[in-house]
Amino acid sequence: MTRYWLVRHGPTHAKAMIGWTDLPADLSDTAALRRLSAHLPPDAPVISSDLTRAVATADALGPRPRLPHEPALRELHFGRWEERGFADVEAEDPTLIRAFWETPGDVRPPGGESWNDLTTRTWAALDRLHGQARDLIVVAHFGPILAALQRAGGMTAIEVFAHKIDNLSVTCLTLVPPDVQSVNHRP
């Protein structure tokens, strides 16, 4: 059994849909990072998405064993909606953006991926990591954390979308057996 300690990367302060855009994280809140690091298992290996904001957050957790970066743990790919605000996209295609957020599943942004695409790649990555350690720290993004929570909690996409996942928060769960220990914990 592997217990996943899912950490959302530090804030980017972007006011748009940011998925695969490689923005840096603001890691200036060193007190929050110290509390976060102290909350996590000290000898657990760390893996992160390959995007800079996740890698830098993982680095900021202090000296821990590291696994290679995992591209499958990236945020949702927003395609042509990348770096655009909700209101801007809604003005262009209100039906599609509302369907994307209100009926998550197979609806895709133009050139992007659907919620089901994200869950498929996230779940496959976590399945590959299962058993590599008793505790595993995963520094990732809002979408992959919700995808893991959806599976561990046996939730629908709509149910899991109701959860808040703050930057530098921890969601702790197991997939085998499915169990959720904490969601959006801010140490």
Residue 136 tokens read as 């595993």
Q: CA triplet 154, 160, 164: central angle to 5 degrees?
A: 135
Asked whether residue 101 is domain-assigned, the answer is no
Question: What pLDDT is stored for residue 168 in this prediction?
Answer: 98
Domain count, the chain: 1
Asked whether residue 123 is domain-assigned, the answer is yes
Residue 75 tokens read as 């945020």
Question: What pLDDT is stored for residue 29 in this prediction?
Answer: 97
Which single residue is written with the structure tokens 């599609």? 96
Asked whether residue 50 is domain-assigned, the answer is yes
Asked whether residue 40 is domain-assigned, the answer is yes
As beta bridge partners, residue 174 has 3, 179
Asked whether residue 53 is domain-assigned, the answer is yes
Asked whether residue 92 is domain-assigned, the answer is no
Q: With pLDDT > 90 as the criterion, what percentage of the chain qualifies?
A: 99
Question: Where does the pLDDT of residue 79 fall: very low under 50, low under 70, confident under 90, or very high at 90 and above?
Answer: very high
Asked whether residue 157 is domain-assigned, the answer is yes
Residue 149: CATH number of its domain: 3.40.50.1240
Stretch 175-185: mean pLDDT: 97
Asked whether residue 156 is domain-assigned, the answer is yes
Q: Which of 135, 174, 120 is nearest to 152 (CA)?
A: 174
Report the C-alpha gap between 70 and 84 in whole angstroms.
Answer: 26
Decide: 123 and 146 in contact? Cβ < 8 Å: no
Report the C-alpha gap between 71 and 103 in whole angstroms.
Answer: 26
Decide: 50 and 75 in contact? Cβ < 8 Å: no
- 54: containing domain: 3-77+115-185
pLDDT (tens digit per residue) in 5-62? 999 999 999 999 999 999 999 999 999 999 999 999 999 999 999 999 999 999 999 9
Residues in contact with 98: Cβ distance below 8 Å, sequence separation at least 6, in sequence order:
90
